[in-house]
Amino acid sequence: MTTSGARRLVAAGLTLQAIAAAWLAVIASPTLAYPHLVPPYALAGAGRAPFFAPIARMVIDFAPPALRGVASGTSNGLRQLGTVLGAPGCSVMDHRIVSSEYPLKT
């Protein structure tokens, strides 16, 4: 795969994820039923597929041959770190937004 082909795939994947995020932002509400969340989450998942494989290949191709193993390991490690820190970070942000808009009544 050429670099321009990989760039197109990455751009397409990120575009799908951005559309899914915007869709969720528009429909989100405390009373939203779960089935309404499935299509935007499916779209976001479909956007991840053309993103992760080409981006890993682009990282490896960018590195000098002697450092390709280091580049691959660093890329995978940072991706995992983003997953580990991103999910709780989004949860904290969501909690703060929801708790400020809908305080507990005592």
**pLDDT at res. 44:** 92
CA distance 101 to 106: 15
The token pair at 47 is: 């956007």
**Stretches in the chain below the pLDDT threshold 50:** none
Maximum separation of any 2 CA atoms in the chain, in Å: 63
**pLDDT at res. 106:** 64
Within 10 angstroms of residue 62's Cβ, the number of other Cβ atoms is 12
Alpha carbon of 96 to those of 20, 89, 99: distances in Å?
22, 11, 5
**CB contact at 8 A, 14 and 43:** no
Q: Say if pTM beats, i.e. exceeds, 0.75.
A: no
Domain ranges of the chain: 3-101
Half-sphere exposure of 90 (CA within 13 A, CB side): 6
